[in-house]
Amino acid sequence: MHIEVPALDGGDADEDLLAGAGVLIAMLEERIDPGGAHARDLARVCRRLARRLNFPQQSVNRFALLGQLYALDGALRREVGGEVEDEVAGVFSGASLGGLNPTLRQLGLLLLQDTEYRAGAGPGGGAGLLALVIEFLRLRSRNGGERVAQLLAASGAKAEWINALLADQEATVE
């Protein structure tokens, strides 16, 4: 069953819908991956980075939800033995098989578009910003925080985004 997701216009109903979706996504991910912290970590870092980049609170919440949706897609694919989609945009495209259902993919696409607008990077910028957070978490877990800045700099992401992400992580450690 596919339910058409209405365009997000920034009203209170949008935020209620997104908050409800966030709760359901967290519950589903907990059922699939009990104790798994990946979605929570991804949403937390997305939220902190969006704040650091001066996104309005509404867009901060939307970017965090986008991270949760991406993590849920991976958890759903792993549960059935499928391969996790590496490309952020691929997760939310209509051509992607497995993982999220069409309604959640459509919601993710709307959130991706909001992030593109807020990140000021144009088409693909929202996916690039989320990919940066995903790569940061991957590098941090493998390298224990060492060399993460150097490896991120080589990723091709905007320097402003990398600096904001690293500054936020340094402030968190202090």
Question: What is the per-residue pLDDT across 119-144, written as a single tens digit (0 to 9) for each?
Answer: 665 666 788 889 889 988 888 888 76
Mean pLDDT of 6-10: 61
Q: What's the pLDDT at 174? A: 45
- On average, the pLDDT of the chain sits at 79
Rounded Cα–Cα distance for residues 92 and 126 (Å): 12
pLDDT confidence of 47, banded at 50, 70, 90? very high
Per-residue pLDDT tens digits for 53-100: 998 888 888 899 899 888 888 888 888 887 877 788 888 887 667 788
Which pTM does this prediction carry? 0.83
Rounded Cα–Cα distance for residues 116 and 110 (Å): 10
Per-residue pLDDT tens digits for 106-119: 888 888 887 777 76
